[in-house]
Each structure stands twice: as C-alpha cells, then as structure tokens.
Structure 1
C-alpha cells in the first residue's frame, strides 16, 4: 500500500493536541524523536525558535486554529522555556554547534577552492573563519565538546579539518596557550590535509588497504600541502609547520622528516596528537576504544602531558561512544561535562524506543560498559544514529546536576 503523504502546515497554525513531525534531521531536532505530541505550550515555543517554516501533521487535523488565548500563553512561556528547561537548552546548544559546524565546513570548502586561483582571498577567508572559531571557543569560561554530524557517509577533508581544529584548540586552551598560538592551531588544523587535494581520488577515497606505492603517494600530502600554501607567502610559519609536520611523532618515527620532540613546535604536536586520535577513531569506530589504543600503542610517540589533556577534554567516554547504562538502556554520548565519567547521553531501550536526552551527572544512572554497534538492534542503531561519522564542536551548555 502506498505511503500516505503527510500534510504540511505553517507554524502559525500549530495547536496543542496535534501530533507532528519536524522537517529536520535528528541532529537538528530539539526533541530528538520523529513523532511529537504537542501537549504543552512550551513545545510550540521551542518549535517557533527553529529555522523552519512548516511542520508535518501526523494526527489531529480536526483541531481548531490557534486561539488568541493560546497565542498569549505561548508568548508568556517562551522566555521561561529558555531559562528553565535544561534539556531544551542542552538540545538548543547542540543544534547551535551543529549549525556552526556545517557553516565552518562550507567556509572551509570555499577556502580550499581558492588555494591556487586566489591565494589572497583564501588567506582573508581563512583568517575570518579562524576568528569565528576563536569567538566560539571563548563564549564562556567553560567549554565542552558535543557530537556533530555533516550528513555524509565518509568524512571529507574539510569536515575532518574543522573537527581537528576544534579539538586541538580546546587542548591548546586547556594547556594555557595564548590566542596567537590558538589561531595558529586553528588555521593549521583547518588546512593540515589540504595536500590531499593533489592525491588521486582513487587513492584518497579507497576503503581497502593501500598498496605500498599508493601509501608512498599518500605520505606525500604534507609536502604537497606545504607547497600549495607556502607559495602565497601569506601564512604564518607556525601554520605551515602544522601542515608539513602533522604526522610527526616525538620519537622520530613519523614523517616526512622524522623529527623528534625538541624539533616539533608545541602547536604542531597538539594537532599531530589529535590527528592521530582521529585516525584511530576512523579505524576502530569507537571514540573510547581509540583513546585506549592511543595509550597502549602510541607510548612515547606523543607528549604525556598532551595525552593527559586529550583525556581531560574528551572525558573517559568521548562524544560518539556507545554505552550501556545501569538501568539497561543503551545510549550514545552526546556532550562532555565537567565530570569525565558523567557525560550527557541520548538514550533508548534495547529496541530503540523511549528515547530521551539524559544527564548522567544527576546520578540516577551510570555507565556500566562501552558497547559495540553490532550488539545493538536495528531500532537502537537507527535511534542512536550509531552509523554516523563522529566529529566534534565547541559547546558551552553548563549543567551542575539537579538540585
């Protein structure tokens, strides 16, 4: 039987009692569920804050248009919702991070497109993007990391660059670096893989193991990127150093120049560490497992103090980690908090139902183990979006737990 087409209505026609669906992906959905039963005026107030013009009606078509009394009620609660609904604020904060991440990717794509044709324009736009990132980092005294997604099956060079820049900046900030060095980290992170534009697509996008000649070609990308960016004579030397040396290890086993710790700038060491972590994350598909492997298999390759800072800012359960809770729900870590073992999670039952945002810092439940995607039901995989690529962006939502 053909699937019934849902009715669209403008936001001005939304009334209590309707069951609706938002025309948004889950990462931008403040309710994080498809079917939303409108039972409170606060729900409509939140919807009116979204960047949409209509919703889909699932049921309740017979209800009357919005009354003047209800309209007044909505106006009264809008500010109250923003101030008191912690979970609404958390979701709004994650949506903002998602929106900023997508904009940064688009800006980065424009920057990459000008590397040969308009290097001065590239420099101006990259400097502007860096200032946006600096502003987002310093919006409050405490910065956390939230999970963001760019809607593509594979991580693009630009999305990878923004995620690397963000995580590296947070580590640099935690390490007490000044804004000048944070700018170098940001720009170096954004551009670190630009040399891959010179690597053939059939090598760069290959999912299987690379042959030795292909690997040799791939390992040329730091030099290729350095040459591309350096020809303009506009970019700081510290940024060029990140591009050229983001695959170096402090024990001299990295490439292309086999540098040791004293020869690698601290800003470059930070980006190299984060890049290594992201490569492990891509390989093992688990942020928490990648962190463990970094400890076990990368001993002596990164500075101990920087690894400690990486753990501090990511927490024991980094965003994107799949976990089982003490009440038998399964969950995906969405945001770090000041408590390394108590992140904010998106949780559901084992079949994918009863989904909700949960604050583990409240102490009602705790994480009992990290789980793999293949242990989840199809419903839970869909609800938790367990297949999505993992990227990070700044988040300034702060919650200290229920009083």
Structure 2
C-alpha cells in the first residue's frame, strides 16, 4: 500500500505489525509522533484509550473486509484541472507564512539553547529537547509531510539557521526510515548542536567567503572537536548526540575528519546528519546555490562519500525540484518552487514573466503548466531576479497540510 494513500482503519481491525497514524495533534497523545509501528498489544490498548474511532493504516496487511467496503462519497477525489481558487491561494500563503514563523521561532529558540549551554547545561538540554519535540509535532501534522521554502532574511547563513535547516531535513529522513522515539530525539539534538563548536571560531574565519589560509582552515576544521568538548563536559548528553557533533564531517569512504572513520564505523544517525550537512553547505556555494543543482551534485559526485540509500532518501524528501529551485515553465514564464509536491513537474511556484511582471502564486497542476528546466539566478532578467528573490538564502521547514 502506498504511503500517499492511507486507509482509515477501525480500531477493531488494528493488529500487531501494522504501522498506523493517529488522527490527533501531537500534544493530544502519549506517543513520540503520530506515526506508530504496532509491536505489542499494549500499544493498541493505549490507542483505544484516546477516544478515536479509527487510525490511518500506513503499512501492514490490509484486512480483507476493509477492501470490500465502499468509499465515502466525500473521500472520492477527482482529477479535474481547475484554476486555483482565491481560498486555495490564501490557505497556501497562510501555510507558508506559518512555516516561516515557525522557522524563525526555532532559530531564536536555538540561540537561547546555545546561550545557556555553558552556564546552565541542564537547562540548555531541557530547552533543546523541547525544541526537538516541537519540530516533531510540526513534522507529524499531516498524513504526508511536505517542505516549504523559508529564510531568516539575513545576508549570511549563521550557525543557528543552518542547524535548524539540517535538523528539519535529518528528521524528515528519520521519519522516512521509521526511526523510533529515542532515535528521533537523538538525531534532532545532534543536528541542532552539530555546529555548536563553530561559535569558538572567529566570525572572520567561519563567514569568510574567500579562500582561507592553511592555519585558518585547520582552525575551522577543529570545530567538531570544540563542539564535542563543550557538550561532553556536562556529562548530560547521550553518546549518539556526542558522536554526531564530533563526526558530522566524516565520510563513508574514510576521507572525512576528524578521525577518518569509514563505512559502518559511522553510526546511521551520524551518517544522516553528515549527508544533510553536506547538502545544506552546498546551498551557499557561489558555484551551486540552487537546491536542485546541489541535490544533483550530491547524487553524482558524493555517492562514494555517503551511503547511496541515504542519498536516495534525501532525493525522496526534497523532490526532484526542491523548494528554492528557479525554474522555466512551459508557458514561457519563470518561477521559484515554494513547496515540495507529489507532482514532480507541477509544483506550486511563485512566478512572473521573464521581464519580472505579473508576480503571483501558481498551482501548476491545476493550470496544466509544467516545469521545463532549471535556471540559474544570473540567467534571469534583473527585475525577475528581484521579484523571485533569486539570491536569497535557502532553508527548509515543515509545512502544514495544503493542496500539493
């Protein structure tokens, strides 16, 4: 059964071995996230105590009698292409604004977490865990999670903005892999703190867009050790989190640092953060910038440095045209992808004419317009580049359910 086509399963039909999703907000149940793999009868009893009449079946054998049931009339979806209504545009704009606000709140929250680390490590860890739980709740709001384009609005991508974006993508991959409660917590904390050691590196070095001297480069490459030392001295952080912080620049082929770990010597959670960190750093390189180009670079040039199955998961999470990708459309206009979508060549875009006129949010699927190609920012007319904010920094956050 496809993940994108869940079935409403009555509680009486839930069995051990099913993977289900609760039709509840994350704060309204005792589980880590809404997605639950049923491994023991006690979990079924807990779900029955929540007062829900059904769950969504995501994986597992479908009971035969369910297959015979007629679908409810309001569940039948037609594929008639229609222009996006005013309500749809407003709801999508609202969802994008909400994602942007949540991203900024998370960035501000991470600054508070980092500021307390040395003076109050226990308080810092408590706040950080709360931040991870909040992101997990946002991730699990819809049956299928999507990503929206967001930005801090700052000219330079700082440690906190980068960390939240890495955290979002790492947790998306973790959800795709079905990681358990503890693993999701560890990957969230590890991603959040992975670059904390950079705060001991002078800004003149870590924000230098040009070539670094050898001593400067060595100083910057010491940040995993700095971060590991900052967290480990409290004795509070779990070992998987410490491992991510120290080894998020290790590569599968042993060419990374600081310890040149290779293959299965790099735990899965560290591998995930290493991959996402690599991808996110490509977004600020002048010769890359585009998330679609960065994804292609990872797929073609980094296959030996990261596990190929994890790279495929990253592609699945981001889509062929990730949010932030500048595109040429089949009607001659240009646009920027705003959301991930099931329809690969028909995402939702912020669009304008090639001259930069008639800016609007568009639902390509409903217009029968397709993405023809990816374009670089410097290929756009100046006004079009301005309208599409072609040179703005790119980050990602979960988006509440909208028409995708």
Shift of 1:348: 0.5
TM-score by length of 2: 0.77
Q: Tell me, yes or no, if the aligned pair for 2:149 and 2:323 is still in contact at 8 Å.
A: yes
Task: Show the counterpart of 1:27.
Answer: none
Task: Show the counterpart of 1:369.
Answer: 373
Give 5+ residue unaligned stretches, structure 1: 1-82
Task: Show the counterpart of 2:261.
Answer: 259
Q: Tell me, yes or no, if the aligned pair for 2:248 and 2:273 is still in contact at 8 Å.
A: yes
Q: Tell me, yes or no, if the aligned pair for 2:95 and 2:402 is still in contact at 8 Å.
A: no
CA distance in 2, matches of 1:262, 1:311: 22
For residues 169-202 of structure 1, what are the alpha-carbon distances to aligned partners after superposition, in whole Å with 9 as ceiling and x for unaligned? 0011111112221111111111100000111221
| Residue 280 of structure 2 is aligned to residue 286 of structure 1 | no
For residues 230-273 of structure 1, what are the alpha-carbon distances to aligned partners after superposition, in whole Å with 9 as ceiling and x for unaligned? 11111111111110111111111111111112111111111100
CA distance in 2, matches of 1:234, 1:338: 41
For residues 187-221 of structure 1, what are the alpha-carbon distances to aligned partners after superposition, in whole Å with 9 as ceiling and x for unaligned? 11111000001112211111111111111111100
TM-score by length of 1: 0.77
**Secondary structure, in 3 states, of the residue corresponding to 1:282?**
coil
Q: Tell me, yes or no, if the aligned pair for 2:338 and 2:350 is still in contact at 8 Å.
A: yes
Given candidates 384, 391, 398, the residue that maps to 1:394 is: 398
Shift of 1:84: 8.0
**Secondary structure, in 3 states, of the residue corresponding to 1:335?**
coil
CA distance in 2, matches of 1:198, 1:136: 31
Task: Show the counterpart of 1:296.
Answer: 300
Q: Tell me, yes or no, if the aligned pair for 2:334 and 2:353 is still in contact at 8 Å.
A: yes
Shift of 1:295: 1.7
CA RMSD of aligned residues (A): 1.4
Given candidates 260, 265, 268, the residue that maps to 2:270 is: 268
Given candidates 289, 310, 331, the residue that maps to 2:335 is: 331
Q: Which runs of 4+ in 1 moved over 6 A?
A: none
**Secondary structure, in 3 states, of the residue corresponding to 2:336?**
strand
Task: Show the counterpart of 1:52.
Answer: none
Shift of 1:109: 0.5
CA distance in 2, matches of 1:159, 1:236: 23
For residues 285-327 of structure 1, what are the alpha-carbon distances to aligned partners after superposition, in whole Å with 9 as ceiling and x for unaligned? 1111111111221121111111111111111111111011011
Shift of 1:362: 2.5
Given candidates 194, 197, 200, the residue that maps to 1:198 is: 200
Shift of 1:140: 1.6
CA distance in 1, matches of 2:122, 2:321: 41
Greater RCO, 1 or 2 (C-alpha within 8 Å, sep 6+):
2
Task: Show the counterpart of 2:95.
Answer: 93
CA distance in 2, matches of 1:325, 1:305: 31
Given candidates 164, 178, 181, the residue that maps to 1:179 is: 181
CA distance in 1, matches of 2:253, 2:343: 32
